[in-house]
Copies of this chain bind each other. A is one copy, B any other.
Amino acid sequence: MRIMAASAFNLKREVEYGSPEQNAAVREIVAAVRAKGDAALLEFTERFDGVKLEASGLKVTAEEIQAAYGQVDEEFLAAIREAAANIRAFHEKQKQKSWMEPSPDGTLLGQIVRPLRRVGVYVPGGKAAYPSSVLMNFIPAQVAGVAEIVMVTPPATGGQAGINPYILVAAAEAGVKEIYRVGGAQAIAALAYGTETIAPVDKICGPGNIYVALAKREVYGAVDIDSIAGPSEIVVLADGSADPVYIAADLLSQAEHDEMASAVLVTSSAGLAKAVSDEVERQLADLPRAAIARKSIDDYGAILTVDSLDEGIAVVNRLAPEHLEIMTADPMEVVGRIENAGAIFLGAYSTEPVGDYFAGPNHILPTNGTARFASALGVDDFVKKSSLIRYSREALLKHGGKIMALARREGLEAHARAVEVRLMKEQVKDIGMKEG
């Protein structure tokens, strides 16, 4: 693993957002689904997934979900139930409450927080089927109070219409009952615009291949979408007290994700830098996904040497990593100085997979330097807020003149008159009362 000066390294990768041909193909698919509904879904499912379905076969049945439970082992089931409970408990703490505040003059101001009504989550099929991501997408929506939560996922290719049982069980454990066997850009179009079988949603979440990502971008505006995630990344900030075996294992757990993943160590210890570099080689040797991890480490991995912990913290803040592990003598002393990081793991025992699978915080995190301004997926992503304004007669009489003054400075006379017609009428009433 290359060891280099921190100043020369940038975490940011140029991500490919699709060729003109891919964009055109996606636009065509979306238009076809808008025009032809279910018929287009069935046609694309046959063409792209090699599965011939009837419209009545789009929806996954309760029996299929039940059958999936028979195909997963008890150890998995127990673990995913405990993970789901942890994720639910963490996200419960994110809930914001509506509030209202009255004033003595009859003014009432407030903010109503309400869940989105209907949300769709795309879950990839095939090799990239991650039950943990199913929990991470659905549970925040559920905690937010979203009434209708829908999953779409492609049928297994090669003539089979079945869906990965781990995915089905994870969805069921997260409380999802409405699941459709459809993938790709056509699934996104169905969620955005609706078909005879699939009612349209207010927001679409979840990862997918380039066609799914482009389709999400295409339908944005008609519905909301989550952010389009870049490749995953980890930065470990460590001093000489850290264990190189642990750090190497953690770097590799990120590198195995995909070839564009990035795993970086920032350290002031030359000894640790060398030890981690050696240890990465040793551990890489017998990894099942060694080829992917090797390419990620070679292309986007680095050990960055710094002169001090202070410089290391500055480097971390510049990189703004998705995941940050702090393995220093006193991680709590460092954490307050970290400005930019999606999730922060403290100390030797908080390896990233603890958060990826189990602890409770969301594993869907801002990538590619966007932790400077973005946050983990959470309950806030599934609510909307309405401001509430009630002015009383007394309040309007008192403040109306100031509102008119501001409106007229902006040249918006009709704004001023909307106040003025009320003031005039009320003043007439007042005079009438005095005279009466």
Contacts and interface: CB of A to CB of B under 8 A. Distances in A.
Interface residues of A, number: 119
Nearest to A287: B414
Interface in A268-289: 283, 287-289
A78 B372 contact: no
Nearest to A410: B130
A409 B166 contact: yes
B421 A389 contact: no
Interface stretch (A3-11, A57-65, A345-353): A345-353
Nearest to A81: B402
Contacts of A412: 253, 256-257, 289
Interface centre among A96, A389, A416 (most CB of B within 10 A): A389
Contacts of A67: none
Interface centre among A79, A107, A130 (most CB of B within 10 A): A79
A123 interface: no
A139 B287 CA distance: 52
Contacts of A31: none
A417 interface: yes
Please state the number of chain copies in the assembly. Answer: 2
Query: A-side binding surface: helix, strand, loop or mixed?
Result: mixed
Given A246-B422, A361-B109, A373 B417 contact: no
Contacts of A335: 112, 388
B421 A245 contact: yes
Contact of A413 (B129, B288, B347, B421): B288
Contacts of A75: 402, 405
A203 interface: yes
Interface in A338-368: 338-362, 365-366, 368
A126 B76 CA distance: 63
A94 interface: yes
A223 interface: yes
Contacts of A386: 338, 341-344, 371, 375
Contacts of A415: 253, 256, 352-353, 356-357
A343 B384 contact: no
A390 interface: yes
Interface string A104-145: 000111011010110000000001011110000000000000
A101 interface: yes
A82 B129 CA distance: 55
Contact of A345 (B257, B341, B389): B389
Contacts of A419: 351, 353-354
Interface string A391-431: 11101100100110111011111111111011001000000
A252 interface: yes
A249 interface: yes
B253 A387 contact: no
Nearest to A394: B349
A345 B107 CA distance: 11
A205 B74 CA distance: 51
Closest 4 CB pairs of A and B: A361-B387, A79-B402, A224-B373, A346-B390
